[in-house]
């Protein structure tokens, strides 16, 4: 997704691993609609940069010395409330994903995410949407299942979705990305993407995370 205006998406990167951070910056600079405006190796410096630069997106490591990403996310919400925070982590542990959401982060990415996913997450964050890596989404969905969330009063998905769209929705709830869905259903990734777009439009929701939650609510996972 791309944001509605023509200004580049300003991004601040905060990560204490210099090689990883510089590589991430170089990758993002390849995108014409993204501008890396600042970098920091410490959370305290990153918070200061966010307050000074007011970036649209802050992409930040979860584990850093002196101040971790969760504390930094809460602080950034105070010094630059318009900035959207994406958390980077090595693994999608249940406690970390939930803590990141409660800290105000709009997304949770794994450090082994593809270039395509990182760029998409930045664009989603800038556009006011959320992004969860498939493994992080699985964590949230597992908690929903454990908590026995009752289905909301919504139409039966079988009444509004085709058979193929129901299959795609169920696979989204399992945490599969578009390429994995395509492989599972023996279709092309672009066809899987189109089916998911139709699912979102028919259900009136805006992200695959919401679609996955919807599927869990309706027993499709």
- Please name which of 116, 114, 56, 53 lies closest in space to residue 86, comparing C-alpha atoms: 56
* DSSP output for 86-116: EEEESS--HHHHHHHHHTT-SEEEETT--HH
Q: Is residue 220 within 8 Å of residue 173, measured between CB atoms?
A: yes
3-state class (DSSP) for residue 3: coil
Residue 85, token pair as written in the block: 């925070």
pLDDT of residue 100: 84
Residues in the chain: 221
pLDDT of residue 175: 74
Domain 9-133 in CATH 3.40.50.2300? The answer is: yes
pLDDT of residue 104: 84
Q: Where in the chain is the domain with CATH 3.40.50.2300?
A: 9-133
Q: Where in the chain is the domain with CATH 1.10.10.10?
A: 149-217
- CATH, domain 149-217, list 3.30.50.10, 3.90.650.10, 1.10.10.10, 3.30.830.10: 1.10.10.10
What is the full per-residue pLDDT of the chain (221 aa) written as tens digits? 444 457 899 999 999 999 999 999 999 999 999 999 999 999 999 999 999 999 999 999 988 877 888 889 889 988 999 999 999 888 877 778 878 888 888 888 888 888 888 999 999 899 888 888 777 777 766 766 666 555 455 567 778 889 999 999 888 877 778 888 899 999 998 999 899 889 888 888 777 777 877 787 777 76
The residue behind tokens 């989603």 is: 124
């Amino acid at each position: 997704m791309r944001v509605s205006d023509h200004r580049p998406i300003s991004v601040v990167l905060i990560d204490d691993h210099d090689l990883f951070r510089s590589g991430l910056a170089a990758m993002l600079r390849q995108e014409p609609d993204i501008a890396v405006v600042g970098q920091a190796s410490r959370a305290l410096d990153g918070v200061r940069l966010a307050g000074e630069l007011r970036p649209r997106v802050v992409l930040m490591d979860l584990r850093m010395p002196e101040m971790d990403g969760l504390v930094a996310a809460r602080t950034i919400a105070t010094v630059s409330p318009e900035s959207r925070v994406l958390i980077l982590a090595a693994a999608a542990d249940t406690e970390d994903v939930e803590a990141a959401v409660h800290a105000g982060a709009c997304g949770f990415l794994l450090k082994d995410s593809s270039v395509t996913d990182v760029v998409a997450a930045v664009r989603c964050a800038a556009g006011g949407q959320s992004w969860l890596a498939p493994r992080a989404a699985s964590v949230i969905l597992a908690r929903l299942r454990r908590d026995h969330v009752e289905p909301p009063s919504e139409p039966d998905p079988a009444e509004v979705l085709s058979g193929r769209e129901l299959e795609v929705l169920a696979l989204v709830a399992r945490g599969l990305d578009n390429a994995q869905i395509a492989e599972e259903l023996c279709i092309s990734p672009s066809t899987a993407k189109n089916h998911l777009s139709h699912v979102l439009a028919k259900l009136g929701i805006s992200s695959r995370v919401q679609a996955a939650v919807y599927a869990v609510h309706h027993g499709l996972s």
